[in-house]
Amino acid sequence: MNARVGEHNAAAVLDEWFDRAGDLGLLDATLLADQMTYLPNDLLVKVDIATMANSLEARSPFLDHKVIEFAASLTSKMNRFRPSIC
């Protein structure tokens, strides 16, 4: 496994994004790190491979820059909001 991964240090990559987040707070820093690492380097790649293998064209509507900008503008309190179900 180490031969395949080489010198790649996942913790160092995440630390870099947490450092870039500055004083955003833990939740916002985590969301930023997730958006900048997991989404482009894992999820989007897997969707692309799976759809190409099956001759499909997938669209990711939530990747529209306006949606991303709106989501990024939400406060941490809004991100934690969970309405109660009666």
Task: Output the tens digit of pLDDT for each of the chain's 86 residues.
Answer: 455 556 778 888 888 888 888 888 888 888 888 888 888 888 888 989 999 999 998 887 778 889 888 888 887 777 666 666 65
pLDDT at 6: 65
Cβ-contact 17, 28 below 8 angstroms = no
Cβ-contact 11, 60 below 8 angstroms = no
Alpha-carbon distances, residue 23 vs 26, 30, 66, 71 (angstroms): 9, 12, 24, 18
**pTM exceeds cut of 0.85:** no
**Domain boundary assignment for the chain:** 2-80
